[in-house]
Amino acid sequence: MLTHVSQGAVADRMSGQDRPPGTDFNPDAAWFAENRPAFGQGTLALRVGPLRFALEGLSSRQRDRLLSQYRPFLEEKATGPADLSVRLTRAGRESFLQLQDAGTEVYRMPTRRDADARRWWSYEFAGSFATDRRTAELALVEEEGPRFERGSENFLRAMTAGFIQARGGMLLHGAAVVRGGRAYVFFGPSGSGKTTVTRFSQRDLVLSDDLTLLVPAPRGFQAAGIPFGMAHHHVPDSNEAFPIAGLHRLVQSSDVRRERVAGAAALAEVVASLPFVLDGDVDPRPAVENAARLVATTPLWRLHFRKDDAFWDVIEER
Amino acid sequence: MDLTTVLTKSPDAAHRTYDGQATIVLPSRAQVSVLNEIGSAIWERIDGRRTLAEILDGILAEYDITREKALGDLQAFVTDLKTQGMVS
């Protein structure tokens, strides 16, 4: 009578490398209330789908790096007020969470609501979003490098997920490829084949191989990329949004076919692929309502595919 | 399980029913579940007021199923829901 659709983790696995296991530091409200210095005085404005983010407190090196990395998403001149202004500060610590064993573990990112803000923290950052002011502080353990990128982008991904949900959309754990002016979305948990699908779509515009923004539009939903690719995921060449041709839940298989999924099963597949907004004490109802509107307006299939480009013949019905 | 038991859906669970099938989302367990038609019919009747006996009567009135089979399925299903934290 009851079938579980497991929720896929979007986070990377963390490698223990040569670090010994240690004790987590879980920052309390008093820690978040402390004043911390910014890295510098640099700013930049980003437009991600319908969302506007302002990053503040950047050092010149951080700003130069992000100007290059986020180029298609930059707003040279802000065209409106930011939905969220994020101030980057020096954490003054070497880490927050610690790897719990010497091998690998799934990236942990606890969240908690305090009286005036929602907090997130992980190995290399602690972030705080003041719900009434649309401002956030992101305290990072390093100024640049992989730990800076992973910490800042995971926080910004969580922010993106929350803000797009408030606009009726969602951040889906899925890849998106634009062909013929329409976006084909391929989703599923880590290891399901999202990056593989984009590798067999090299002549098309790849919006993402990991996380895709789904935005409500007058006629159904549109797909757009996000710039927060954490170095090893594809950062799109465009911040345009495209109408969605279909949603495909990836299933690796020896044959290539697709079957239509509708109703409760379709809703479950989408909700199981929504990172960040269904963690712990977060109210799941807005995410479920948005996903229900998506599956009511957008066809969803389970796509059985193997590692070649034959899946395109199936989904384009050639 | 005693048929006079009255169950309540977990306040943490978000749920939606399409064409007689329910999807239940329970973030505290990072779990998304889909119920079949009879499971969904039972889920819809769990409202903090009906007893299991009343839910059983409703299922018998709606579906062509023996009382013995329906009772066994109901008890197993409700036990599963409790184990999963979907009802209390």
Please give the structure tokens belonging to residue A247: 């949603």
B32, A272: Cβ pair inside 8 Å?
A: yes
- For residue A240, what pLDDT band results from cuts at 50, 70 and 90? very high
Report CB contact under 8 Å: A3, B34: yes
Nearest Cα to B80, choosing from B11, B19, B24? B24
Q: Is B30's Cβ below 8 Å from some Cβ in A?
A: yes
| Chain B residue with minimum CA distance to A9 | B30
A231-254 average pLDDT score? 87
Q: Report pLDDT digits (tens) over B13-58.
A: 889 998 889 999 988 777 889 999 899 999 999 999 999 999 999 9
A268-to-A92, A261, B35, B84 alpha-carbon distances in Å: 42, 10, 10, 16
**Coil vs helix vs strand at A54:** strand
C-alpha to C-alpha distances, A150 to A75, A173, A194, nearest whole angstrom: 23, 17, 20
Does B35 contact chain A (CB < 8 Å)? yes
Res A2: pLDDT: 66
ipTM: 0.80
**From the list B15, B27, B32, which residue is nearest A5 (CB)?**
B32
Interface test with B, best of A1, A282, A290 (most B CBs within 10 A): A1
- Residue among A3, A272, A288 whose CB faces B14 most closely: A288
Q: Is A109 exposed, middle or buried (0-12, 13-18, 19+ CB in 10 A)?
A: buried
CA distance A267 to chain B (A): 7
According to DSSP, the residues that pair with B23 across neighbouring strands are: B16, B34
Grade residue A314 by pLDDT with cuts at 50, 70 and 90: very high
Residue B1 touches chain A, beta carbons under 8 Å: no
CA–CA distance, A299 with B35 (Å, rounded to integer): 21
Considering only the beta carbons, identify the residue of B14, B17, B77 that sits closest to A1. B77
Please report the pLDDT score of residue A201 as a whole number: 93
How far is the C-alpha of B86 from the C-alpha of B82, rounded, in Å?
A: 6
Q: Do residues A179 and A236 lie in contact, with contact meaning Cβ atoms separated by under 8 Å?
A: no
Question: What pLDDT, on a 0 to 100 scale, did the predictor assign at position A107?
Answer: 83
- Predicted confidence at residue A126, as pLDDT, reads 98
What is the per-residue pLDDT for B20? 87
Instruction: Identify the pLDDT of residue A4.
Output: 65
Nearest residue in chain A measured CA to CA from B77: A1
Tell me the nearest-neighbour CA distance from A4 into chain B, angstroms: 4
A315 neighbors A275 (Cβ within 8 angstroms) = no
Chain B contact present for A279, CB below 8 A: yes
**pLDDT at A150 exceeding the cut of 70:** yes
What's the average model confidence in pLDDT over A260-276? 92
Distance CA A73, CA B2 (A): 60
Chain A within 8 Å of B21 (Cβ-Cβ)?
Answer: yes
* Chain A contact present for B79, CB below 8 A: no
Which residues are paired to B33 by β-bridges? A4, B24
pLDDT at B54: 96
Q: A11-52, pLDDT tens digit by residue? A: 565 665 555 567 899 999 999 999 999 999 999 999 999 999
Q: Worst-scoring range by mean pLDDT, A100-109, B16-25, B66-75? A: A100-109
Report the first-to-last Cα separation within chain A, whole angstroms: 38
What type of residue sits at position A92?
A: G
Contact B77 A264 (CB under 8 A): no
What percent of chain A stands above pLDDT 70? 90
Confidence check: pLDDT of A197 > 70: yes
DSSP letters for A168-224: T-EEESEEEEEETTEEEEEE-STTSSHHHHHHT-TTSEEEESS-EEEEE-SSSEEEE
Question: What is the rounded average pLDDT for all residues in chain A?
Answer: 89
CB A201 within 8 A of CB A177: yes
pLDDT of A100 strictly over 60: yes
Q: What is the DSSP string of A222-273?
A: EEE--S--TTTSPPPS----EEEEEEEEEEE-SS-EEEEE-HHHHHHHHHTT
Using the beta-carbon criterion (under 8 Å), do A268 and B34 form an inter-chain contact? Answer: yes
**Contact status of B34 with chain A (Cβ, < 8 Å):** yes
Neighbours of B7 (CB within 10 A): 23
Closest Cβ opposite residue A284 in set B14, B19, B35: B14
Residue A137 C-alpha from the chain's centroid: 18
Q: What are the tens digits of pLDDT across the range A272-304?
A: 999 887 776 778 899 999 999 999 999 999 999
* C-beta atoms of B32 and A271 within 8 A: yes
What is the average pLDDT across A117-133? Answer: 91
Residues 46-65 of B with CB under 8 A from A: none
- What CA–CA distance (Å, rounded) separates A176 from A222? 11
